[in-house]
Amino acid sequence: MPNKTILCPDKIHSVELIAPKTYRIDEAGIANCYLLIGDKKALLIDSGNGAGNLLETVQALTDLPVELVLTHRHCDHAGGRNNFKEYGFHKNDNHLVYRIESSKLASKSLCKGTGRDFVYTKKPFKAKKRLFKDTDIFELGGRIVRLMNVPGHTKGSVVFLDESTHLMFTGDDVNYWLWLQLPGCTSVKEWLPGAKKILSMMDEYKAYCGHNDGYISKEMVEELIKRGEEILAGKKGTPIGHGVLSYPDNNFQDHSVIWYKKVQ
């Protein structure tokens, strides 16, 4: 497959080859999933919000058994879980607040909220949850993926590290639009050490996040960290046109929205 985006038959998902046997699956600009294919099985990182036919999209890319894992338990990453019999997420996301935020109702409202022609589609299974431990390793056959719990966006947010391609998948912990204002989100103070840990690994690992075009550069993460530190120092963010926008929301004390929009 050429290294370009191809629209799938459901007209919702598009697929981009980002490394050998590694695909970014974009659910109509709502969120990204990533499919990592080994010799024996494949790992699907996140499942989108649940529009279109994710299962068909994945099966067009691999015949191997697929294990679904989540970077965190929010509806735009967990909404497609019932395409599979089981799904895994970190034990620290096993709380009521995240159950609500990853519910079918949340996915349906998000579909509606886009104002576009999306519907939450019917799924074949009712996926059973499996909780990760910090030591979990995913052996795909000739390819090993590790996880690292980085409390950030949610308490159980994890980053997946792929040894073979030196890619890491950061979910929403560092992305273009960092949200820390939802119930259950960590504070900026709790988020910062994890973001710095991710930054320290970015010479070795290229980072792909849960939204937009996926790739997130070291400079962007540095900028996010800078914004976070400014918020903690009491500085109020200022929207700057279509460039970088940082906006701490005082209604949430130190829980803030940091909107980081790539300068075009």
The binding site for Zn ion (CB under 5 A) comprises 74, 172
In the complex, least distance from residue 60 CB atom to Zn ion, rounded to whole angstroms? 26
In the complex, least distance from residue 143 CB atom to Zn ion, rounded to whole angstroms? 26
Q: CB-wise, 61 or 93, nearer to Zn ion?
A: 93
In the complex, least distance from residue 139 CB atom to Zn ion, rounded to whole angstroms? 27
Q: CB-wise, 8 or 33, nearer to Zn ion?
A: 33
| Closest residue by beta carbon to Zn ion | 74
Q: CB-wise, 38 or 48, nearer to Zn ion?
A: 48
Q: CB-wise, 78 or 202, nearer to Zn ion?
A: 78
In the complex, least distance from residue 173 CB atom to Zn ion, rounded to whole angstroms? 9
In the complex, least distance from residue 2 CB atom to Zn ion, rounded to whole angstroms? 31
Q: CB-wise, 24 or 74, nearer to Zn ion?
A: 74
- In SS3 terms, the chain reads as CCCCCEECCCCCEEEEEEECCEEEEEECCCEEEEEEECCCCEEEECCCCCECCHHHHHHCCCCCCEEEECCCCCHHHHCCHHHCCEEEEEHHHCCHHHHHHCCHHHHHHHHHHCCCCCCECCCCCCCEEEEECCCCEEECCCCEEEEEECCCCCCCCEEEEECCCCEEEEECCCCCEEECCCCCCCCHHHHHHHHHHHHHCCCCCEEEECCCCCEECHHHHHHHHHHHHHHHCCCCCCECCCCCECECCHHHCCCCEEECCCCC
